[in-house]
């Protein structure tokens, strides 16, 4: 075969290979983006935005109503330190001292604590909403219910975090966030946040919930690794920055478990009352909204119903 003809054939083969690769990549991308591309906003989408838009600011605003109980909050924080000493788990000061000389690490931990919590949860919630709706609905209700439970605790038992305990108590905590940012946290107005809501740590608890939702949503090894690392990473951040005691994330576990139990119990109760035989009421619309409220994904329920048998 002449050299020129061989080169032309090789070039054509390379072009065909590149074209096939490009076509398969576009097909895979379209398949991956299909839930987003097919999405058409509806009433429930608007209700979802409204629900979260009202719930989350209310949570933070109400937390800010206990700022005047500083003395009580500080005393409760000191009591937690004493309790941890009696239990032999008062390790926070030594752990923090181990990283204080690494200023870049401390600054990174503070930045993640302030910026990496809700933004990361928000991004993962969007992914779950479009691609894994049942897991999103589970997370949403457990998230809001556990937050409401924590809110009751914050209002009745305000607790100062380790970094706000007075130096006169002699515990030795360092307020790295104040050292880096001063009194005014960026993007976090003081009227919007209650500084004395250390226990339970919903930073940790909500990371647990998101991790559970991610684990249930996919078998992808990288996503499941993220699901495991998120709560462990948050545990590390909140302790090393002296924003929480070791008992705070531990106490968040039963709060999250109760929120999850109420979520699952509500779904079970609704499914028992509104059984398959009564689902004809959906045509009137209200049952569909009850399903949405308790976190039942109708599409997944329909896919689980057995196909009608021929007469």
Query: Residue 23: inside a domain, yes or no?
Result: no
Query: Residue 14: inside a domain, yes or no?
Result: no
Mean pLDDT, the chain, integer: 80
Question: Which has the minimum average pLDDT: 197-211, 223-237, 278-292?
Answer: 278-292
Domain count, the chain: 1
Q: What distance lies between CA 288 and its chain's CA centroid? A: 26
Cα gap 159→73, rounded to integer Å = 4
Distances (CA, A) of 31 to 20, 24, 34, 36, 85: 16, 10, 5, 10, 55
pLDDT per position as a tens digit, 83-142: 999 999 999 999 998 888 888 888 888 777 777 777 888 888 888 998 889 999 999 999
Tokens 């390379």 correspond to 14
DSSP bridge partners of 159: 197
The confidence band for 311, taking pLDDT boundaries of 50, 70 and 90, is very low
pLDDT of residue 309 exceeding 50, the answer is no
Range of the domain at 90: 42-298
Tokens 């308790």 correspond to 294
Query: Residue 249: inside a domain, yes or no?
Result: yes
Nearest C-alpha neighbor of 291 from the set 272, 271, 264: 271
Q: According to the model, what pLDDT value does residue 115 have? A: 72
If 0-12 CB within 10 Å is exposed, 13-18 middle and 19+ buried, where does residue 157 land? middle
Query: Residue 13: inside a domain, yes or no?
Result: no
Cα gap 245→253, rounded to integer Å = 14
Q: According to the model, what pLDDT value does residue 244 have? A: 94
pLDDT per position as a tens digit, 1-33: 555 555 565 565 556 655 555 555 555 555 556
pLDDT per position as a tens digit, 165-201: 998 888 888 887 666 555 555 445 555 567 888 899 9
Q: According to the model, what pLDDT value does residue 178 have? A: 61
Query: Residue 26: inside a domain, yes or no?
Result: no
Query: Residue 291: inside a domain, yes or no?
Result: yes
Burial 208-227 (b: 16+ CB within 10 A, else e): bbbbbbbebbbeeeeebebb
The confidence band for 60, taking pLDDT boundaries of 50, 70 and 90, is low
Tokens of 117: 């919590």
Cα gap 235→245, rounded to integer Å = 10
Query: Residue 151: inside a domain, yes or no?
Result: yes
Q: According to the model, what pLDDT value does residue 81 have? A: 95
pLDDT per position as a tens digit, 266-284: 999 988 887 655 655 555 5
Query: Residue 24: inside a domain, yes or no?
Result: no
Q: According to the model, what pLDDT value does residue 266 have? A: 92
């Amino acid at each position: 075969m002449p050299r020129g003809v061989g080169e032309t054939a090789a070039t054509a083969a390379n072009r065909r290979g590149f074209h096939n690769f490009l076509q398969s990549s576009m097909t895979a991308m379209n398949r991956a983006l299909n839930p987003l591309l097919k999405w058409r906003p509806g009433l429930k989408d608007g209700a979802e935005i409204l629900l979260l838009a009202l719930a989350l600011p209310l949570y933070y605003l109400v937390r800010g109503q206990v700022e005047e109980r500083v003395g009580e909050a500080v005393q409760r924080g000191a009591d937690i330190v004493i309790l941890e000493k009696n239990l032999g788990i008062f390790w926070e000061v030594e752990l923090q001292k181990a990283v204080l000389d690494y200023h870049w690490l401390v600054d990174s931990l503070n930045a993640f604590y302030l910026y990496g919590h809700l933004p990361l949860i928000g991004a993962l919630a969007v992914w779950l909403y479009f691609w894994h709706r049942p897991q999103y609905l589970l997370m949403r209700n457990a998230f809001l219910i556990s937050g409401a439970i924590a809110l009751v605790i914050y209002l009745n038992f305000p607790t100062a975090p380790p970094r706000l305990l007075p130096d006169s108590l002699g515990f030795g905590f360092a307020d790295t966030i104040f050292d880096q940012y001063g009194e005014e946290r960026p993007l976090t107005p003081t009227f919007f946040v209650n500084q004395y809501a250390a226990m339970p740590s919903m930073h940790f608890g909500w990371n647990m919930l998101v991790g559970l939702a991610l684990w249930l949503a996919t078998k992808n090894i990288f996503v499941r690794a993220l699901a495991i690392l998120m709560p462990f990473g948050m545990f590390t951040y909140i302790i090393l920055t002296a924003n929480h005691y070791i008992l705070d994330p531990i106490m968040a576990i039963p709060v999250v478990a109760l929120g999850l139990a109420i979520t699952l119990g509500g779904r079970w109760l609704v499914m028992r009352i509104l059984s398959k035989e009564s689902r004809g009421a959906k045509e009137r619309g209200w049952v569909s909204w009850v399903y949405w409220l308790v976190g039942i994904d109708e599409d997944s329920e329909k896919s689980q119903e057995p196909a009608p048998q021929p007469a």
